Amino acid sequence: MTSILLVTSSPRGPEGLSTRFATEIAEGLKVRLGGTLLTRDLTVNPPPHIAQAYIGGRVAAPEARTPEQAKAVGLAQELVDEVKAADVIVLGSGMINFGPSSQLKAWFDHITWPGVTFGYSAAGKPQGLLTGKKVYLVTAAGGVFSEGDWAAFDFQTGYLRHLLGFIGLTDVEVVRVEGTVFGPEAAKAAIAAAEVQVRAVLEQAA
C-alpha cells in the first residue's frame, strides 16, 4: 500500500497553481496506486520559524527539555514522521520574491535535523537519511525561470532540490507552472502546459 504525503505552501491557498497541480498529482497517484493520502497545508497550519526552544531542545535529552522545548521538538518530530512514513511526497511551492515561501522554508528548517534526517560520514561528507522515496516538486512562478534571462534568478527550484537531496530525497521530478503574468493567453498556455506534465506523471505512475 502506497503512502502519499502532499505538502502545499502557496499563500494563495487553493487558488495557487502550485497547490492546484500538486493536489491533482497527489490525488491522481492515490487513485492509480491505491493507499493513503495525507495533506500538510502549510498556509492553513504554518509551522513557526525555528527559535531557541527548538535549537536547544533538539540537542537536549528528552527528560531534560523544558515544556517549550518539548513542544518545539514535538512539532519537528511530527513533521519528520510524516515524511518518513511516506513512499511518495508531492510538494507544491509558489515563488515569492524569487524563492519559496517562508512557510515552506520553516517546514524544511524543522525537518532538516542532524542525526535524524541527515548525518555525516567519517570523512565529513553529508549523507541524507530519508532515502528510497519519490518526490514530485511542483513549482509555480509568474515569470519564466526555466530558461532565458531570468533563469539565474530562480532561487526556488534549485534550492528546494538541494534541500531535498541533502536529507536523502534525490529522486525528484519537477513540474513547472510558469509565465502566467504575461496576459490571459500566456496564462492559459502555461496552465495547459502544466496539465500535460501532470498527465505524463500520472501515466508513468500507472
Task: Provide the pLDDT confidence category of residue 1 given band limits of 50, 70 and 90.
Answer: confident
Q: For 61-183, where are the alpha helices, taking DSSP H only? A: 67-85, 102-111, 157-166
Tell whether residue 121 is among the known ligand binding residues: no
- Which range of residues forms the domain containing residue 26? 3-205
**Residues sharing a CB contact under 8 Å with residue 190, sequence separation 6 or more, in sequence order:** 177, 178, 179, 180
Each residue of 3-25: pLDDT tens digit?
Answer: 999 999 999 988 999 999 999 99
At residue 129, the 3 state secondary structure works out as: coil
CATH number, domain of 76, equals 3.40.50.360
At residue 149, the 3 state secondary structure works out as: coil
What would the mean pLDDT of 129-151 be, rounded to a whole number?
Answer: 94
Each residue of 37-73: pLDDT tens digit?
Answer: 999 999 999 999 999 999 999 999 999 999 999 999 9
Domain count, the chain: 1
Q: Give residue 154's identity as a one-letter amino acid code.
A: D
Give yes or no for residue 205 having a pLDDT over 90. no
**Residues sharing a CB contact under 8 Å with residue 59, sequence separation 6 or more, in sequence order:** none
Each residue of 84-139: pLDDT tens digit?
Answer: 999 999 999 999 999 999 999 999 999 999 999 999 998 989 999 999 999 999 99
pTM confidence score: 0.94
Each residue of 27-37: pLDDT tens digit?
Answer: 999 999 998 99
